[in-house]
């Protein structure tokens, strides 16, 4: 079954997304025009806003996730990038990245803060808490 959904993350910078992928051991596939998913929309879930059935599986770039059968599509829309994935459990993405790709969203946020801290000449201290949460502290 297909369960294509949008990962609720606003991608403002592809370089930051590449860094987040590298941190998690994911492979950012530049200019890959399709992503692996179930391959057939069966109508059991609503499509993400602005997505047409004929566009499923198409992307501008893709993210390969080790240990998962499916991939994440990086789709340019209205000057920004969105992430589409098939979250059906057999695809393995949610098992690796957590619910709604929480680990990827966290890694993107950390990489974005790291980028902004460097631009502002801030020092960044990163601490991973026992529950997996990452705490960042900025100082001059």
Q: How many CA atoms does the CB half-sphere of 68 hold within 13 Å?
A: 28
- Total domains in the fold of the chain: 1
Instruction: Please count the helices (runs of H) and the strands (runs of E) in the chain.
Output: 3, 7
Examine residue 91 and state whether it is found in any structural domain, yes or no: yes
Examine residue 134 and state whether it is found in any structural domain, yes or no: no
Examine residue 86 and state whether it is found in any structural domain, yes or no: yes
Examine residue 21 and state whether it is found in any structural domain, yes or no: yes
Examine residue 71 and state whether it is found in any structural domain, yes or no: yes
Name the residue among 30, 107, 139, 40 with its Cα closest to residue 74.
Answer: 30
Find the domain containing 96 and state its range.
4-100
Examine residue 20 and state whether it is found in any structural domain, yes or no: yes
Examine residue 22 and state whether it is found in any structural domain, yes or no: yes
Cα separation of 3 and 89, whole Å? Answer: 9
pTM (predicted TM-score):
0.87
Q: Are 7 and 85 in contact (CB under 8 A)?
A: yes
Examine residue 117 and state whether it is found in any structural domain, yes or no: no
Q: Are 106 and 134 in contact (CB under 8 A)?
A: yes
The pLDDT profile of the chain, 140 residues, written as one tens digit per residue, is 456 777 888 898 999 999 999 999 999 999 999 999 999 998 888 898 889 999 999 999 999 999 999 999 999 988 889 999 998 877 889 889 998 899 999 999 999 999 988 888 888 888 888 988 888 888 88
């Amino acid at each position: 079954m297909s369960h294509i959904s949008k990962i609720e993350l606003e991608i403002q910078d592809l370089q930051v997304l590449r860094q987040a992928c590298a941190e998690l051991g994911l492979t950012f596939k530049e200019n890959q025009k399709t992503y692996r998913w179930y391959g057939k929309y069966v109508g059991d879930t609503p499509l993400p806003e602005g997505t047409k059935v004929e566009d499923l599986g198409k992307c501008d770039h893709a993210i390969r996730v080790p240990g998962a059968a499916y991939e994440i599509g990086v789709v340019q829309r209205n000057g920004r990038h969105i992430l589409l994935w098939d979250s059906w459990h057999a695809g393995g993405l949610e098992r690796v990245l957590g619910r709604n790709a929480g680990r990827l969203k966290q890694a993107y946020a950390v990489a974005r803060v790291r980028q902004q801290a460097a631009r502002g000449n801030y020092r960044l201290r990163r601490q991973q808490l026992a529950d997996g949460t990452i705490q960042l502290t900025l100082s001059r």
